[in-house]
Amino acid sequence: MSRGHPSPTGWSEVEQPPEIIEKYNPRDPTLFEYDGEEPIAVHVLPETQNVHDRSEQWRVGVVHGGKTNFEGTDPIRTGIADRSGALAVAEEFMLGYESRVQSGEQTPEALLAECCKPAVERVE
């Protein structure tokens, strides 16, 4: 994936993320886009837009519509301790999408719920 971690098969990192991803986040946001017909992407962003925030927590989300036809986002997980942890969560989702969603074994919604489960349990 990004910075020494290659993208999983079927996904590619967007070199110049569109404004929806980088507008308020100068701390190395990352966008991965699915290479198939489905317009879907995964973003890795700092939790807050404040560059002086010392918590350095990160979030990962699904971008519906991809980079060019933005339709909205759904969180995959929030409150991740660091960027490398966020990239690992993004990779987990992308691998699941490639192997289970594309094979018809699982719906995108079920995969999203599965990847979000730790975040949901933490909030409850």
Domain ranges of the chain: 11-123
Per-residue pLDDT of 59-95, as tens digits, reads 999 988 866 777 888 889 989 998 889 999 999 999 9
pLDDT at 47 over 90: no
Q: What confidence category does residue 14 fall into, taking pLDDT thresholds of 50, 70 and 90?
A: confident
CA distance 24 to 4: 24
CA distance 2 to 15: 10
Give me the residues paired with residue 46 across strands: 58
pTM: 0.78
Give pLDDT, residue 112.
85
User: Which residues have C-beta within 8 Å of that of residue 121, sequence separation ≥ 6?
Assistant: none
Per-residue pLDDT of 87-123, as tens digits, reads 999 999 999 998 888 888 988 888 888 877 654 444 4
